[in-house]
Amino acid sequence: MDPAVPPIAELVAPGGWHAVDCLSDLHLDAAHPATLAALERYLARTRADAVFVLGDLFEVWVGDDAIAEPGSFEGQVCALLRRAAALRPTHFMHGNRDFLVGEGFARATGIALLADPTVLTLAGRRWLLSHGDALCLEDAEYQRFRALVRDPAWQARLLAQPLAARRAQARHIRSASEARKHDGTTAYADADTPAAIAWLRAARAPALVHGHTHRPADHVPAPGLARQVLTDWDLDAPPLRAGVLRLSARGAERLALDAV
């Protein structure tokens, strides 16, 4: 295996699964109620057999202990997710905004945590699933940051801080993010094509599905290989956008929320 390729987990779909929906980059927070409401409607009515959230479900996640804080946004969303997980299997993969999601979240919601990357075998096809940020090699500064915040010791030190302090840090991060959006300096590096090809070949999968870049598109990185990028969600500010990628025996199909 190429040394640049991370360990790849495997998940074989049960025989009763015929369609799986993939979505990512909802960046949920209390300031975006329409996006949260759209997610709630989608989860209640989708005809998929399972739902896979491939990272950045939340704008920021300060720790699983936030769920139990009375009246917290995290608690509100987790109650919604618990209802959704009772309807169909739901999986979550960490993103660059919610890397602190842990077993407390899984217990509170009934959602299964998913390694990044994971191969999903469904209807005789292999799909390589990832959040996608690990493939954005051009952004060397972000890759250094990613390695830091994924370190268990670093996470333990952060989570040892009082919840109020972590919330204050999150507000600062969000303010900086919003400022970059307004001044036009926010830019997401694209996935590195040679790295994507190496991942696909190591996974023995013809298609990679990921989010993170906010550039929904279908790419052909090499003959016989596909890279399918999920859309981000924002129903609170133009341009409005949301959708899922449905995987089935027919292949991958992009669906608007009113068609799920």
Asked whether residue 162 carries a pLDDT value surpassing 90, the answer given is yes
Q: What is the pLDDT of residue 195?
A: 97
Asked whether residue 182 carries a pLDDT value surpassing 60, the answer given is no
Q: What is the pLDDT of residue 2?
A: 53
The lowest-confidence range among 162-166, 183-187, 211-215 is 183-187
CA dihedral 128, 131, 136, 139 (to 10 degrees): -170
H-assigned helices in 150-222 = 152-159, 163-183, 193-203
Domain boundaries, the chain: 9-259
pLDDT in tens, 13-68: 999 999 999 999 999 999 999 999 999 999 999 999 999 999 999 999 999 999 99
Count helices and strands in the chain by DSSP H and E runs: 7, 12
pTM: 0.94
DSSP 127-168: EEEE-SGGG-TT-HHHHHHHHHHT-HHHHHHHHTS-HHHHHH
Asked whether residue 187 carries a pLDDT value surpassing 70, the answer given is no
For residue 34, which phi and psi values (nearest 5 degrees)?
-70, -35
Mean pLDDT of the chain: 94
pLDDT in tens, 79-125: 999 999 999 999 999 999 999 999 999 999 999 999 999 999 999 99
The answer to whether 213 touches 191, Cβ cutoff 8 Å, is: yes
Q: What is the pLDDT of residue 183?
A: 57
pLDDT in tens, 193-216: 999 999 999 999 999 999 999 999
Q: What is the pLDDT of residue 237?
A: 94
Asked whether residue 189 carries a pLDDT value surpassing 90, the answer given is no
**C-beta contacts of 150-153 below 8 A and 24+ residues apart:** 150/99
The CATH topology of domain 9-259 is Purple Acid Phosphatase; chain A, domain 2 (3.60.21)
Given pLDDT bands bounded at 50, 70 and 90, which one contains residue 171?
A: confident
